[in-house]
A = this chain, B = another copy of it.
Amino acid sequence: MADHTIQESIYILKKSSTRLSVSTDKQRNDLLLAIGQGLVDDWAEIERANALDLSAAEANGEKEALVKRLVFDIEKRDSVIAGLKQVAALQDPIGRVLERRLLDTSLLLERVSFPIGVIGMIFESRPDALVQIVSLCLKSGNGIILKGGKEAAHTNAALVASIYKSAASSPLGSEWLLLLTSHSDVDVMLKMDGLIDLLIPRGSNAFVKYVMDNTSIPVLGHAAGICHMYVDKEADLAMASECAFDSKTQYPAACNAIETILVHKDIAPVFLLMLASRMADKQVILHGDSQTRSYIDCLPCTQGDYDTEYLALELNIRVVDTYQQALDHIAEHGSHHTDAIITKNKELANLFMREVDSADVMVNCSTRFADGFRFGLGAEVGISTAKIHARGPVGISGLMSSKWLLQGDGQVVASYTGSNAKPFLHKELAIGEESK
């Protein structure tokens, strides 16, 4: 696509995505499997490209975690290929009948699933994520514009080159996929409303917020993950300590890790000692309010701490007098992402699930379960804290829209209005039911 400007390429991609949306499931599945085979055939080039990215990262003194994410070895390749096969085996998400209603004799209304159109994905430096995202968009019939992290530039380019080769012999072609590489391309994308239908930014909170603030294209994602655990006076304290430990330490850089734990005052004297001892196993830095510090030794917690997403082994602790105080704290400082309660009181747990306005509300388990794979959605394109479209972990269904189809035999609205109006039938039909 070197001969086109980015804008021209995106116009072409938009047209191509229309063709993709009416392609058959078999065409899309064949291409998914061909892409997997292509990764094997082109392995030498991909391996060489990845080595370039890795040595550049090491030369730049990048953190070990980043370098680890950059690695695209045989093991990751094979797991990506397994993922492509899994996605190909999924039921066709296009054209599913979601509602079916007979408005009148021979006037059949159906709402059917349909691809959103063109997805703009801006993602971190994980080459395996590139293949995963491409596979979900291809399966769901959406065109995809990718902007990957510069640290993975060589690997990403080699992967897309391989996908293009695989697509060359497919009737779907390769124009539904575009890889952007320059950082300034992000701003071009943000202005392409009307062509890009949905943006999915993944990366730092500041970056996601920048995207949300600078585009009128709908954005699926979350800017912050300030998650809480409330340990009630009727909690099983050993369970609470384990769940808190997992929620904080199992993967502290994740958005669903907790930043603050709220502890009911009645159990604070006993529980805080248990908690401090468990958190010491991973040297978690604790910030406590004044009550907390009357029981355990830790840093003072300042007001700003409650609004900080540490993404590290650091945790705020606050003692609360009542359930309501915990609720108010979550409403004030939370990011409506994932919040948990630990309690044996079923009624209180039910209240918490109703009253906490977060995408994921957990009872007696770790917040770290908030994830598309763990939730059983297959792969995940992101976690959304928006209240519309998709909320929480978003799987392939988040890449789908729908349209209404109405089939008649000449009906006009004039017959159904005025003093002599025909009544509507409005008969709900089962999805599989015949219309007559």
Contact = CB atoms under 8 A, between A and B. Distances in A.
A360 B22 contact: no
A198 interface: yes
A414 B250 contact: yes
Nearest to A23: B354
Contacts of A359: 403-404
Contacts of A409: 239, 364-365
Interface in A353-379: 353-355, 357-366, 368-370, 374-376
Interface stretch (A46-54, A124-132, A381-389): A381-389
Interface string A15-27: 0001001100000
Contact of A404 (B21, B361, B417): B361
B354 A407 contact: no
A407 B197 contact: no
A97 interface: no
A408 B362 contact: yes
B407 A357 contact: no
B388 A198 contact: yes
Interface string A215-256: 010101000000000000000100100110110001100000
Given A364-B408, A374-B424, A412-B250, A391 B387 contact: no
A276 interface: no
B101 A404 contact: no
A31 interface: no
Q: Which of A95, A360, A406, A408 has the most CB of B within 10 A?
A: A406
B198 A374 contact: no
B116 A242 contact: no
A65 interface: no
Interface in A310-366: 331, 349, 351, 353-355, 357-366
Given A369-B103, A376-B426, A412-B242, A216 B218 contact: no
A349 B410 contact: no
Interface in A109-123: 109, 111, 114, 116-117
Most chain B beta-carbon contacts within 10 A, residue among A355, A368, A376:
A376
Contacts of A245: 412
Given A246-B412, A410-B242, A388 B401 contact: yes
Nearest to A352: B405
A62 B238 CA distance: 72
B18 A357 contact: yes
A376 B117 contact: no
Interface centre among A18, A404, A424 (most CB of B within 10 A): A404
A410 B243 contact: yes
A365 B197 contact: no
A3 interface: no
A434 interface: no
A107 interface: yes
Given A101-B376, A362-B407, 20 more contacts: A101-B375, A103-B375, A239-B410, A243-B412, A357-B403, A361-B403, A361-B404, A363-B405, A364-B407, A365-B408, A365-B412, A366-B412, A366-B413, A369-B411, A374-B416, A374-B424, A376-B428, A388-B388, A389-B389, A393-B404
17 contacts: A109-B375, A109-B376, A116-B387, A198-B388, A213-B216, A218-B387, A243-B410, A246-B412, A353-B405, A362-B408, A363-B406, A363-B408, A365-B409, A365-B412, A389-B389, A391-B402, A391-B404
Interface of A: 18, 21-22, 95, 101, 103, 107, 109, 111, 114, 116-117, 197-198, 212-213, 216, 218, 220, 236, 239, 242-243, 245-246, 250-251, 331, 349, 351, 353-355, 357-366, 368-370, 374-376, 386-389, 391-393, 401-414, 416-417, 424, 426, 428
Closest 10 CB pairs of A and B: A365-B408, A246-B412, A368-B413, A239-B410, A376-B426, A388-B389, A387-B401, A363-B407, A389-B389, A365-B411
